[in-house]
Amino acid sequence: MSDKSMGVTRLAGAIGAEVSGLDLREPLAAEQVAALRRIWLEHGVVFLRDQHITPEQFLAFAQTIGTPVEYPFVNGIAGYPYIIEVKKLEHERVNFGGVWHSDTAYLDQPPMATLLLAREVPPHGGDTLFANQVAAYDSLSDGMKRLLGGLRCVNSSDKADTSRTREDRIAEGGRAERRSYEAEHPAVRVHPETGQRALYMNAGHTVRFAGMTEDESAPLLHFLHEHQKKEEFTCRFRWKVGSIALWDNRCTHHYPVNDYHGHRRVMHRITLAGDVPAG
């Protein structure tokens, strides 16, 4: 199967494409995987509809893209340690990961990619926004690019509490051992497959620039966080049961919209092993 047998519909000018023509109930051929990977690298995040698959089939699909890894704070679902449940229940007001971010930037080797599969969705709301960090970098002035080229960011899992994301609040119901993670990464990351440069700080985890205090770092980080989520860099995806998103964690941000209070939303998530970010 070639690219031509897959339907590709762009969601926005900067990021995102829906891909049709794949049925994940059956193993994908090598040509299908290669074609999907090319589309994914081009668009940053790809979406597949109507994939009513078992956890085993979901895991098998993830393994064609990369190597699944366990999430540091939450246990996997029964029998599948690499698949975690991301849910907001009817009585809850705070959602999981509810700020613009890239996944687990506080790890020495953040994940290459994340896959999310919709199991239950609210009757309205619960969309996810994605932002292209290559486009965000490219639009900066030459002076700002030179400045950022010499900076590194300190990222901490503890910041999730102050940013009111749900991942730290649910940790007590997750792994027995509670620990903090901190990692330092370049402010501008070079993508290991495309060679493109992308902004690599995020509002959910970045605390300060290395060698600076939080107060000294705050004005520039504030500017960058606002810049990173400009509408012209984004797309918006509306979930249906059986929808899958596969995003490149090395060059995208995402934001789950928390606009469905009183309703239930349940997703399954797998993260794929990445490398040490290089500048």
Active site residues: 101, 103, 254, 269
Name which of 9, 64, 4 is nearest 34 in CA terms: 64
Dump strand ranges (E) for the chain. 7-10, 17-20, 45-48, 68-69, 84-88, 113-120, 128-132, 152-156, 182-186, 188-190, 197-199, 206-209, 234-237, 244-248, 252-256, 265-272
Name the CA dihedral angle for 175, 177, 182, 188, rounded to a multiple of 10 degrees. -20
Which residue carries 């705050």 as its tokens?
218
How many angstroms separate the CA atoms of 27 and 174, rounded?
32
